[in-house]
Amino acid sequence: MEKTYDLIIIGSGPAGLSAAIYAQRAGLDTLVLEKEYISGGQVVNTAEVDNYPGMPGISGMDLGEAFGEHARKLGLEPQREKILSLENISGDIKTIRTKKHEYQAKTLILAFGAEHRKLDIPGEDDLGGLGVSYCATCDGAFYKDRIAVVVGGGNVAAEDAVFLSGLCEKVYLVHRRDALRADKAIQEKVFACENIEMVWDSVPLEILGQEEVTGLKIRNVKTGEERELEADGVFIAVGIVPSTALVKDQLKLDENGYICAGEDGVTSAPGVFAAGDIRTKALRQVVTAVSDGANAVASAQKYLWRTDNGNH
* Binding status of residue 177 toward ligand NAP by CB under 6 A: yes
At residue 24, what is the residue type? Q
User: DSSP secondary-structure letter at 45?
Assistant: G
Q: Give 71-74 contacts, CB < 8 A, sequence gap 24+.
A: 71/12, 71/17, 71/20, 71/21, 71/24, 71/32, 71/39, 74/20, 74/21, 74/24, 74/25
* Binding status of residue 299 toward ligand NAP by CB under 6 A: no
* Binding status of residue 243 toward ligand NAP by CB under 6 A: no
Strand-strand pairing, 240-242 and 114-116: antiparallel
**Among 23, 119, 148, 216, contact with ligand NAP (rule: CB under 6 A):** 119
Work out how close the CB of 39 gets to ligand NAP at its nearest, in angstroms, rounded to a whole number. 18
Q: Are 81 and 100 in contact (CB under 8 A)?
A: yes
Task: For 94-126, give one letter per residue: b (16+ CB within 10 A) or e.
Answer: bbbebeeeebbbbbbbbbbbbebeebebebbee
**Among 176, 197, 246, 298, contact with ligand NAP (rule: CB under 6 A):** 176
Q: Which residue is nearest to ligand NAP (CB)?
A: 154
* Binding status of residue 40 toward ligand NAP by CB under 6 A: no
4 or 285: CB nearest ligand NAP? 285
14 or 209: CB nearest ligand NAP? 14
* Binding status of residue 156 toward ligand NAP by CB under 6 A: yes
* Binding status of residue 51 toward ligand NAP by CB under 6 A: yes
Cα separation, 208 vs 15, whole angstroms: 38
Question: Which residues carry out catalysis?
Answer: 135, 138-139
Q: Are 205 and 219 in contact (CB under 8 A)?
A: yes
**Among 11, 14, 16, 154, contact with ligand NAP (rule: CB under 6 A):** 154
* Binding status of residue 285 toward ligand NAP by CB under 6 A: yes
Total chain residues near ligand NAP (CB under 6 A): 23
Work out how close the CB of 289 gets to ligand NAP at its nearest, in angstroms, rounded to a whole number. 10
- The DSSP secondary structure of 178-213, one letter per residue, reads SS--S-HHHHHHHHH-TTEEEE-SEEEEEEEESSSE
Candidates 14-22, 81-89, 174-182, 192-200: pick the segment binding ligand NAP (CB under 6 A).
174-182
* Binding status of residue 240 toward ligand NAP by CB under 6 A: yes
Q: Are 180 and 188 in contact (CB under 8 A)?
A: no
Q: Are 95 and 87 in contact (CB under 8 A)?
A: yes
* Binding status of residue 288 toward ligand NAP by CB under 6 A: no
Work out how close the CB of 157 gets to ligand NAP at its nearest, in angstroms, rounded to a whole number. 6
| Binding positions for ligand NAP, 192-221, rule CB under 6 A | 203
Binding mask 220-239 for ligand NAP (x = CB under 6 A): -----------------xxx
- The DSSP secondary structure of 97-143, one letter per residue, reads EESS-EEEEEEEEE---EEEPP---TTTTTTBTTTEES-HHHHGGGG
Sign, CA dihedral 115-117-121-123, equals negative
**Among 41, 189, 284, 288, contact with ligand NAP (rule: CB under 6 A):** 284
**Residue numbers of the site for ligand NAP (CB under 6 A)?**
46, 49, 51, 117, 119, 151-157, 159, 176-177, 181, 203, 237-240, 284-285
